[in-house]
Structure 1
Amino acid sequence: MGTGMQALLSFLPILVVALFLVGMKWPAKKAMPLSYLVAAGLALFVWKVSFSQVAAATVNGLVVAIELLYIIFGAILLLNTLRESGALRTIRQGFTDITPDRRIQVIIIAWLFGSFIEGSAGFGTPAAVAVPLLVGLGFPAMSAVVAGMIIQSTPVSFGALGTPMRVGVQTGLSADPGIASDLSAYVSMVAGKVALLHTLAGTLVPLLVVGIMTRFFGKHRSFSEGLKVWKFALFAALAMTVPYVIVANLLGPEFPSLIGGLVGLTVVGFAAKKGFLVPSVEEHWDFEPRERWESGWSGTISIQESGGGRRMGMLQAWVPYLMVALFLVITRLKWLPVEGWLQAWEIRLSHLFGTSITASLQPLYIPGTIFIVVSLLTFILHGMHPSRYGQAWKSSGKALISASTALVFTVPMVQVFINSGGGAAGFEAMPVVLADYVAGLAGEYWPFFSTFIGGLGAFVAGSNTVSNMMFSLFQYNVGVNISVDPSWVVALQAVGGAAGNTICVHNVVAASSTVGLVGKEGEVIRKTLWPFTYYALFTGSVGYAVVWTSEKGLFNLGTLLATLIGVAAVWTIATHRSRLPQVPKAPEPEKPTPRV
């Protein structure tokens, strides 16, 4: 079989997802079983992988799905606990006191708070925290999920204290003896380049978040309404990315997102409270009343302010989230013994069905455990009545059921797709076949495609870490073969893999499940596909410009395309920020005629 046909067949499981989930608007619980059957059929009958390997990959996928469901349950439970205790009422009022403008709120919560949580825990945790919080504050569920997914780009490469770099890239490159001797230093050097690329592209992410929110969920369906806060959006972006890129180049890949998110949250939160660059009350933007929302915007989980609970101070209301952040950091720091203690209890299924595939769970280390522990502590600290806390558990359990069907097919499909190599046909695994074919076609233009391959890996695997493990060595070798600095090509892989999280199917399913928005995954991906395309194309253009400057000069195709994208962004801001629909002023009452 020719390489072209192999690549076409490798693409089929992804094509099924694109066609039925995104194109035909099927819910994930229908589209993903079909994609699983296609992947399993190709693995068994074309790649001639043994049935035991397909079964082992499927079981491993089910174990990962259980882990995701555990995280989802913990996140929903914490939100329901805050709702029943009355803390959510206080948190919402706190944001309203800063500004009632939803554009400012989504930047602070999704971009800054989400980046900090990503740096602490990664693995989809920011969406599990930020998305239900936004819904609890009055955002439509669809809007909250889209915002939560778009910000899953810039901070992701350094999520979970640098796991996508230290585990993903480092493991992926470890098979090359030429760089294995000083691999840690090499990865740190690549991390600096990754941070620079992310900083260049990530500066526009908060603006994209608000623009897409007002375009699809505003009364006037106007992108311009989001661009009206461009100064605040750029300020919030730089408040995170400047410390982020400094830390990446001085301290390595463990802390950029964590410190960048924390610094940005502190600076921007203080500035917003003082009214810096925040629209006036007369200019604030909000969603229409709930009864005017489209039917597909709301999820089945209603996270509204409880009529019960007691009044409390802002600090007391925020303590649960502060505990989540603190516990996530403490349990992920390598120089503390806590991580080892929590990882000591491991449920491990080694060499499933006689294969090399191993499935494992570390229940105490999963972020879901932290959510549950914090929920229990909140029950005590907020002096909740047992009946109200029981209601939080009951409603959270019901919410979990709807998420199960989609995830139990989505993740196994991914695992079968990834573990399709080593069969009797002698083919490489499907994602490697696909990437290798594209590289052969691209030649010197590979930097334009490298970010998309990284994104493809994250799209199917649901993880920047796994994408980097699959493709880092492949990207390095392509860089060598086209005679450019391979470290930049590896950096483009890591950046593309991070951006791919914005369209990753099982991340969308997981985020949607926290607010009961099941069955609308394709609509979410259609909205996040544009930010992903911008991110991958812009960073790929910058990468091409960098690696070919010495041979082709500064003004090459990459420089031209990156400049055009930048100019288009500036032009869009300049021409659209003043194009708001004009609301007619109410006529002034006529003055009475003075009596003589």
Structure 2
Amino acid sequence: MSLLYTLLALTPLLVVFLLMVVMGRSAKLSMGAAYLVTVLLALFVWGSQTAVIAAATVNGIVTALTLLFIVFGAVLLLNTLKVGGALKAIRQGFMDVSPDRRIQVIIVAWLFGSLIEGSSGFGTPSAVGAPLLLALGFPAMAAVMSVLIIQSTPVSFGAVGTPMLVGVRSGIDNKADVAAAIVPMQPMEYLQQIVENVALIHALTGFVIPLLLCGLLTRFFGERRSFAEGLGAWKFALFAGLAFTVPYYLIAVILGPEFPSMLGAMVGLVLSVTAARKGWFAPRKTFDFPDRSQWPSHWLGTVAMDNTEAPQRFSVLRAFSPYVLVVLLLIVTRTFPAVKAWLTGPSATIRIEGIFGTGISTSAQLLFSPGAILIVVSLACIAIFRMSGQQYVVGVKDSLRTMGSAAPALLLAVPMVQVFINSAAADGSIASMPLVLAQGAATAVGHAWPSVSPWVGSLGAFIAGSNTVSNMMFSYFQFSTAQQIGLNIDQSAVVVALQAVGGAAGNMICVHNVVAAGAVVGMLGREGEIVRKTLIPMVYYVIQAGLIGQALITGAMGWWIAAAIFLALTIGGLSLSRGRQMTPAMA
């Protein structure tokens, strides 16, 4: 019977995968079908309360609206920069750093994106980074793929450590068996042990993400369709990977979970931009995309960057200042307690308690949302670029149209997730669908659990759209499973860390992030194409993390050798992968 429930719990995810990834249907259609299947299973198989399903749906709709608020702010800032004439200066500034697209994507996506993730999180790097890459002349599909791939290493310490401080901590806090097992440690000491394991596993797994990013960029968007062409930038890619992950790990050990991604990215940005300007580690040949006239239609979105811009009238510093302002405001609002308290206090929070008489509540903090910061900065652009009110209104109208296009997919995706999470039987006889899936996996693999643990975390992020929520759902389950298979307390900390690492990797294919990133560059309805590309680094990440986790738990050299071999096979296998070389007929 438990196997049957496990298979049934898998059904909504299979519906999404088959419709969106395999068949290439839109997220709107895929998530609509998945929502219907999830509701029917919850009501007629799990025996969930109708009121709970309705409340979860309302909570999902409110959450989706807050995500759309961020999408609107990101698109508005982009449109403001476009109408104000700043994008050409920004593009020229990055071209001056390096004309090589591989180096540009590392600096913008990997490092600037990680900085945004560290300060804000919750999909903001995609909403900010994708339009910036589009402005630099990247194909829309390449921009979306790039910003999603980096939604991995920095995510566990995103939003000033929220996935750890809220996600993992709330998952294992106030549990009598956890408190008894970790004695004489206090809960925060044990959390710090988990944090250090998370940082180490991420650093050892993620330092090659810039290299994979370069390879996938040239494989899918180069004229020769060659992954190996991306490896031509291996020196700079590995330098940038280590320039972020080394300080990232050290900061996690010294300062804890709040600042590894933010400060690590700052250090990495300074080192990498300096190296690029001086030509250190630069590839011999410069890589660029084919001429725009040769781009296939599936590379393009509906947001136009050319022909509608005003002439360049500003210095690079002035043109880029809105993004600097975004980062500063994100840091101030997330790290200054008084400011954060004012923006998140009762008077600034819209909250609905006990929806339909259930235990489900929902809330929105619009002033604290990254969307509010993006809108404020877009208004500041009126003064920065001496724009007219009419120009700004044009940007607002265009942004509202984009947000409206993204709304159906998100308004179906997020409620489906909330029903999935809140699907436990009314009498408590059957756990919610995510827990049924996790329990089924634990039963099937037994002592091989550490290798599977990251997959559970990624599954949680895929369905919930959040590493934080994934950690809240599964951290205690991961701890309990580690205890059941006989691991000691230090080893169990590694297993919980693997949950957090897998949850971060799941952000690469999370439907929420894919829809949001696609929306800001005009690629709605193409989510399946995007996921098929980002699934490659996501699979690498969770397998490699599992191998490294096994090495840390067992201390056996064989697992370290297996991790090294898997990395070599991944890069070697992708290097052998070639698509059809671009010809005029493909344009």
TM above 0.5, one fold?
yes
Alignment-derived partner of residue 396 in structure 2: 393
For residue 401 of structure 2, what is the amino acid of its counterpart? K
Q: Does 1:427 align with 2:427?
A: no
Mapped partners of 1:164, 1:264: distance in 2: 22
Task: Give matches, 1:421-500, under 5 Å.
Answer: 421-424=424-427, 426-484=429-487, 485-500=491-506
Displacement of 1:305 = 6.4
1:546 matched to which residue of 2? 552
How many Å apart are 1:482 and its aligned residue?
A: 1.1
Return the alpha-carbon distance in structure 1 between the equivalents of residues 330 and 27 of structure 2. Answer: 30
Structure 1: gaps of 5 or more residues? 582-596
Deviations 1:531-564 (A, max 9, x none): 1111100110111122123xxxx244x3343131
What is aligned with 1:221? 225
1:99 corresponds in structure 2 to 98
Matched, 1:111 2:110: yes
User: 3-state SS of the aligned residue for 1:384?
Assistant: coil
Question: Which structure has the larger Rg?
Answer: 1
**What secondary structure, in the 3-state scheme, does the structure 2 residue paired with 1:423 have?**
coil
CA contact (8 A) 2:540 2:570 kept: no
Instruction: Using the TM superposition, name which of 288-297 and 354-363 deviates more.
Output: 288-297
Partner of 1:268: 272
Question: Partners of 1:466 and 1:245 in 2: how far apart?
Answer: 23
Q: What's 2:568 paired with? A: 567
Alignment correspondent of 1:594: none
1:146 paired to 2:150: no
Answer yes or no: is the 8 Å Cα contact 1:122–1:156 preserved in 2. Answer: yes
Deviation track 1:338-358 (CA, whole Å, cap 9, x = no partner) reads: 001011211111100000000
Listed as ranges, the matches of 1:109-258 within 5 Å are: 109-180=108-179, 182-258=186-262
1:537 to 543, 561, 567: 543
3-state DSSP of counterpart to 2:314: coil
Aligned partners of 1:59 and 1:412 also within 8 Å: yes
Structure 1's 175 and 420: CA in aligned 2 closer, same or farther, altered over 3 A? farther
Q: Which residue is equivalent to 1:290?
A: 292
> CA shift at 1:308, angstroms?
2.2
**Deviation, structure 1 residue 411:** 0.3
**Alignment partner of 1:302 is 2:304:** yes
* 1:218-242 CA distance string (max 9 Å, x none): 1111001101000000000001001
Aligned residue pairs: how many?
A: 573
Question: Are residue 321 (structure 1) and residue 330 (structure 2) matched?
Answer: no
Aligned equivalent of 1:590: none
SS class of match (1:465) = helix
The CA distance in 2 between the partners of 1:112 and 1:80, in whole Å, is 23
Contact 1:227/1:576, CA 8 A, preserved across alignment: no
Letter in 1 for 2:153: T
In 1, the alpha carbon distance for the partners of 2:472 and 2:147 equals 25
For residue 495 of structure 2, give the secondary structure of its aligned residue in structure 1: helix
- In the alignment, the residues of structure 1 paired with residue 192 and residue 305 of structure 2 have an alpha-carbon distance, to the nearest angstrom, of 42
Normalised by the length of structure 1, the TM-score is 0.93
What percentage of residue pairs aligned between the two structures are identical?
50
Q: Distance in 2 between matches of 1:84 and 1:330?
A: 28
Q: What aligned pairs does 1:20-31 form with structure 2 within 5 A after superposition?
A: 20-31=19-30
The code of the aligned residue for 1:80 comes to: N
User: 1:516 and 1:448 mapped to 2: Cα distance?
Assistant: 38
Q: 1:555 & 1:96 partners in 2: Cα distance?
A: 44
Paired residue for 2:380?
A: 377
Do the aligned residues in 1 keep the contact of 2:458 with 2:502 (CA within 8 Å)?
yes
Task: Tell me, in whole angstroms, the C-alpha distance in 2 between the residues paired with 1:514 and 1:419.
Answer: 30
Whether the 8 Å contact between 2:49 and 2:425 is mirrored in structure 1 is: no
Structure 1 pair 176/300, CA: closer, same or farther in 2 (3 Å)? same
Cα drift, residue 391 of structure 1:
1.3
Correspondence for 1:38:
37
Instruction: Check whether the contact 1:247–1:255 (CA below 8 A) recurs between aligned residues.
Output: yes
- Counterpart contact for 1:161–1:332, Cα < 8 Å: yes
Contact kept? 2:78, 2:131, Cα under 8 Å: yes
Q: Tell me which amino acid in the other structure corresponds to 1:66.
A: L
- Comparing 24-33 and 385-394, the one that deviates more: 385-394
| 2:356 paired with 1:353 | yes
C-alpha contact 1:79 1:303 (8 A) present in aligned 2: no
SS in 1 for 2:272: helix
Any idea what SS the aligned residue of 1:302 has?
coil
Of 313-322 and 151-160, more deviation after overlay is shown by: 313-322
C-alpha deviation, 1:311, in angstroms: 1.0
What secondary structure does 1:228 align onto? helix
In structure 2, relative to structure 1, the CA distance for the partners of 1:570 and 1:501 (3 Å cut) is closer
1:30 and 1:296 mapped to 2: Cα distance?
Answer: 19
- Counterpart residue number, 2:69: 70
- Deviation digits for residues 314-339 of structure 1 (CA, Å, limit 9, x no counterpart): 21111101110000011011x53000
* Root mean square deviation of aligned Cα: 2.0
**1:271-306, Cα deviation, whole Å (9 max, x unpaired):** 1111112235xx211111222212111111113364
Letter matched to residue 398 of structure 1? R
- Counterpart CA distance in 1 for 2:8 and 2:540 is 27
**Per-residue CA shift, 1:364-385, capped at 9, x if unaligned?**
0000000000010111121112
